[in-house]
Structure 1
Amino acid sequence: MAARARSRRSEQRTDGRPDARTERWREHRSQVREEFVTAAFRALGKIGPDVSMDDIAKEAGASKPKLYRYFKDKVELFDAIVDRVQDMLWERVLWSINLMSDSTGDLVRRGATEYAKVVTEYPNVFRFMVHSHFTQQMDESGRTLQSARQSARRAANLFSDAFDGDTIDDTYAELTVYSVFGAVASATDWWLGANPIQGDAMPIEKFIDYLAATVSSIAESAARLIGFTVDPTLPLHLAFSNTNTTGEDQPGQGGTSDDA
């Protein structure tokens, strides 16, 4: 009888309309997962990068079996923590910049500043992330790299969208941003140090200077490889000049020209 009732309900859902109970479960599952991620942030702040699933469950006021109902293992929870950090960084950076009017140099500087601020707010979260990237099992490292690749594509698309035409090769843009992430992760690991008790290796202002210089150098070197120069004093859509064209350099083909 119960089987026939389930069958009828299944047939009733073939009209394409969403199942309200399924939607409520998805919303509940998403909410609980977010609560566990928030608890993981707190546990990392208190205990450090060696936090366990037991520690996170206790911080959330839940049992370990419940935690495993929403995250199949520590790697999946780690991935959700990385996603939270990425979303946080994107929100702060995009809120603080204007892609169409801020100079390219200012964009890099503000991005480095917001990143360094988040690192200082959640140092153990970043220790947890970069140590997993460099030292943990291959599965965890692979998930970290995959998250970085997704964010690299996101940044590459953002930069490409700042141009009116197909000025920048998406493949090079993705590779450049991906390389930037690797350099920044290494610098962060050094800046935070292996010992969470010790002070910062350098003041935050100098760390921001270093990040901005590193990011700019990688971007400018990559641009030269594909025949562009970058003027950091101009907005992003005007900063790239094509050195492969005949005659005078054309400022990033998304800019204006005398014939316009």
Structure 2
Amino acid sequence: MPQPQPATDGRSTRWDDHRAARRIALVRAARKAVHQMGPEVSMDEIATFAKTSKSIVYRYFVDKPGLQLAVGEAVVEQMSVALSEAAQLATTPRAALESMVAVYLEMIAHSPNVYYFVTRTAPGLPFLESMNEIVAVPFAQEMNADAVDAAAWGAGAVGFIRGSGEWWLLNRTEPGAPTREELTDRVTAWLWGGPVGVLARGKP
């Protein structure tokens, strides 16, 4: 005989909703603070920017790496939406690859400070693993690659795009440096002409 379910405490539900909304607001405030003040921004500065106390920030994130991880998750979610929209417009595998590269480079160009905040510390690894999972592996699978090849290519592709993108961030104001659009074209061509050409198996 099914056991009766315990009654839901309305006050508890409202409190959970409040905490979830407050956490989202703090992540957004932290992201804006990092964007404006740089990746070395302190928790005190983030709390001031969010118009709250540092103790409140720590109540939701425990420590700075926890906040960095939460910001990274928000960035990944935003990129996932952008990639999904771009993938719907891509008519060929090469166009899908170009969209993947373009979305990544657009993200780091929009806010290098936020990018460094979520990648240049211990929490950076989960961020990059997420990029591999939502960006590169699905693309490799579209090429009919098996799971092992898709995982290996995905990790390599994200590493290649990351390295090229970070080089560009440091050198984009130098004479002769490519624009973001030019770098997108070049990285796409390099990836397509290399291992991805094998994965494509004759696709246009």
Global fold match (TM > 0.5):
yes
CA distance in structure 2 between the partners assigned to 1:28 and 1:22 by the alignment? 10
Aligned match of 1:123: 112
Spell out the pairing of 1:78-227 with structure 2 (5 A cutoff): 78-98=68-88, 102-132=91-121, 140=122, 143-155=123-135, 158-159=138-139, 167-193=144-170, 199=173, 201-217=177-193, 219-220=195-196, 224=198
Q: What amino acid is the match of 1:115?
A: Y
Deviation by residue 1:166-195 (Cα, 9 ceiling, x = unmatched):
x4322321222122222222222222129x
1:33 aligns with 2:23: yes
In structure 1, stretches of 5+ residues that fail to align are 1-13, 133-139, 234-260
Q: Assess if the C-alpha contact under 8 Å between 2:136 and 2:158 holds in 1.
A: no
Post-superposition shift, 1:123? Answer: 2.0
Distance 1:218 1:178, change over 3 A: farther
Q: Assess if the C-alpha contact under 8 Å between 1:156 and 1:170 holds in 2.
A: no
CA distance in structure 2 between the partners assigned to 1:156 and 1:81 by the alignment? 21
In structure 2, stretches of 5+ residues that fail to align are none
Q: What amino acid is the match of 2:114?
A: V
Q: Assess if the C-alpha contact under 8 Å between 1:48 and 1:124 holds in 2.
A: yes
CA distance in structure 2 between the partners assigned to 1:209 and 1:108 by the alignment? 10
CA distance in structure 1 between the partners assigned to 2:7 and 2:96 by the alignment? 45
CA distance in structure 1 between the partners assigned to 2:41 and 2:149 by the alignment? 37
Aligned match of 1:56: 46
Alignment RMSD (CA, Å): 2.9
CA distance in structure 1 between the partners assigned to 2:191 and 2:5 by the alignment? 52
Post-superposition shift, 1:214? Answer: 4.1
CA distance in structure 1 between the partners assigned to 2:80 and 2:96 by the alignment? 13
The residue matched to 1:102 in structure 2 has which SS? coil
CA distance in structure 2 between the partners assigned to 1:154 and 1:93 by the alignment? 8
Distance 1:79 1:218, change over 3 A: farther
Taking structure 1 as the reference length, what is the TM-score of the superposition?
0.66
Distance 1:116 1:151, change over 3 A: closer
Q: Assess if the C-alpha contact under 8 Å between 2:34 and 2:114 holds in 1.
A: yes
Taking structure 2 as the reference length, what is the TM-score of the superposition?
0.81
Distance 1:62 1:205, change over 3 A: same
Q: What amino acid is the match of 1:216?
A: W
Whose RCO is larger (CA < 8 A, sep 6+)? 2
1:230 aligns with 2:201: yes
Q: What amino acid is the match of 2:192?
A: S
Q: Assess if the C-alpha contact under 8 Å between 1:176 and 1:218 holds in 2.
A: no
